[in-house]
Amino acid sequence: MVEKKNKNPFWRGFCWGLLVMLVFSSVVSPVIRRSALGDRMAAGVHAGTAKRAVNRWATRTKLGQLAAVIDRLYYQDISPEQIAEGLYGGLLRSLGDPYSAYYTPEQFQELSESTNGSYCGVGIVLNPAEDTSEVTVLHVYPDTPAAEAGIEEGDVIQSIDGVSVIQEKASQMSKRMRGEAGEAVKIGVLRQSKADASGETLEFTMECREIEVPTVEYQMLEGEVGFLQISEFTELTSEQFRQAVEALNAKQMKSLIVDLRNNPGGVLDGVCGVLDQVLPEGLIVYTEDKYGNRQEYHSSAEHSLGLPLAVLINGHSASASEIFAGAVKDYAYGTLIGTKTFGKGIVQQIVSLRDGSAVKVTTSRYFTPNGNNIHGIGVEPDVLLELEYLGDEKKGYDPMLDNQVKEALRILKQ
């Protein structure tokens, strides 16, 4: 056994143990107390199982012992910050809930951008290769700095601001392509179809600006049937949905297909905002926490789609997508086509902390208007139909070569 040399192993280990105990007493406990779940709930947590577990002397002592062992024996140096971040994350992982998590300030910023539906950057979606270190441009959002500069899908990212990004992770590249509005970013790419034999890269300089991530795409199909795809539900999806329906109505839309396949969910308010534009007045969904508190979400009488509706779902339609599908099914407002949904019938709440970090905690279950909780069960389609796509996806998606879309068209014509 190889042992790391340490001039004062006892005292250094003692200090590490003391640090861990201080972390738990001065940081983790206040995290619980400062949760934004309301004074009554916070008081319940303060006296509850988690608080008692953190305050147990045996727990603190053992953590101190583990920290001392790591400091004395682990083959690399590790910072107190790493230990502390690991403790925070471990506390959330102890719940055994894959949806509850701790976020560092940097991770929380990324999470906020994804749920807000906008960020300040250049408008590129990256695609890391599974078998190589290459990172290519998967998608360029229209009307963005990247699109205007000439970045194309399929370009291989070579450098950012003159610094090579070979072997760098896509997540790190994405961060470097973001900045304050007006901040310049220079991106070097290898355009495989146009680069010469020397492998010379093309360079594009652009300025960051606010990017609204599109979550809704639409087109008109035969028979004046609108086809609307929702990739996820963000805080901007409701407005994007409204604009899409307005544009389709301007083309004399007579019925609508909403594609929720592979939609992982998103923000509860986002899907409720969309359903408020689809359903008649009534209950959309309700949630219940462990205290029995119930919160209801309703659609108003002001808007409703008023058109025949078909909804496409599959096993990757989850969470907010299932709220949509479940409400449509309970109201018998449209026809669900495809395969059973994922089955995530629980709701998370994000609690921001004073140091810029955050925790996401599962706080309640949700129920469809008829009182069904689909967690671990999913939503069954009205028409069970496995997907068969008859085209070449490499050439782009054509809904008219999709058997589930064609079945929706057939039903809507009846």
Q: What number of helices (H) and strands (E) belong to the chain?
A: 13, 19
Q: Is residue 4 in some structural domain? A: no
Residue 9 has pLDDT above 60, yes or no: no
CA-to-CA distance for 112 and 136, rounded, in angstroms? Answer: 25
| Residues 131 and 85 placed together within one structural domain of the fold | no
% of the chain at pLDDT higher than 70: 84
Which of 164, 400, 316, 75 is CA-nearest to residue 173?
164
Q: Could you say which of 212, 239, 271 is where a domain stops?
A: 212
Lowest mean pLDDT among 20-24, 79-83, 171-175: 20-24
CA-to-CA distance for 389 and 405, rounded, in angstroms? Answer: 10
Lowest mean pLDDT among 61-70, 81-90, 189-198, 384-393: 189-198
Instruction: Read off the pLDDT of each residue in 201-219 and give the average, rounded to a whole number.
Output: 93
276 within 8 A of 267, measured Cβ to Cβ:
no
The single residue of 35, 317, 321, 344 carrying the catalytic annotation is 344
Report pLDDT digits (tens) over 253-279: 999 999 999 999 999 999 999 999 999
| Residues 166 and 253 placed together within one structural domain of the fold | no
User: What pLDDT is stored for residue 54 in this prediction?
Assistant: 64
Q: Which domain, by its residues, includes 294?
A: 216-413
Report pLDDT digits (tens) over 144-165: 999 999 999 889 999 999 999 8
Q: Is residue 303 in some structural domain? A: yes
Average pLDDT of the chain to the nearest whole number: 85
Q: How far is CA 72 from CA 5, 14, 64, 82, in A?
A: 8, 11, 12, 16
Residue 44 has pLDDT above 50, yes or no: no
User: What pLDDT is stored for residue 51 in this prediction?
Assistant: 65
The single residue of 35, 100, 319, 364 carrying the catalytic annotation is 319
| Residues 235 and 381 placed together within one structural domain of the fold | yes
CATH number (domain holding residue 127): 2.30.42.10
Q: Could you say which of 212, 246, 280 is where a domain stops?
A: 212
| Residues 207 and 220 placed together within one structural domain of the fold | no
Residue 358 has pLDDT above 50, yes or no: yes
| Residues 235 and 261 placed together within one structural domain of the fold | yes
Which of 226, 215, 209 is CA-nearest to residue 270?
215
Give the pairing type, strands 309-313 and 255-259.
Answer: parallel
| Residues 164 and 288 placed together within one structural domain of the fold | no
Instruction: Indicate the number of domains in the chain.
Output: 3
Label residue 326 exposed, middle or buried (CB < 10 Å: 0-12, 13-18, 19+): buried
Is 71 a known active-site residue? Answer: no
pLDDT band at 200 (very low <50, low <70, confident <90, very high): low
| Residues 243 and 306 placed together within one structural domain of the fold | yes
User: What pLDDT is stored for residue 287 in this prediction?
Assistant: 97
Backbone angles phi, psi at 190, to 5 degrees: -105, 115
Is 319 a known active-site residue? Answer: yes
The single residue of 299, 330, 360, 402 carrying the catalytic annotation is 330
Give 106 or 217, the one with higher predicted confidence: 217
Q: Is residue 84 in some structural domain? A: yes
Global pTM reads 0.80
Residues in the chain: 414
Is 330 a known active-site residue? Answer: yes
Q: Could you say which of 192, 212, 232 is where a domain stops?
A: 212
> 168-182, 241-255, 386-400: which has the highest mean pLDDT?
241-255
Instruction: Read off the pLDDT of each residue in 167-182 and give the average, rounded to a whole number.
Output: 87
Q: Is residue 23 in some structural domain? A: yes
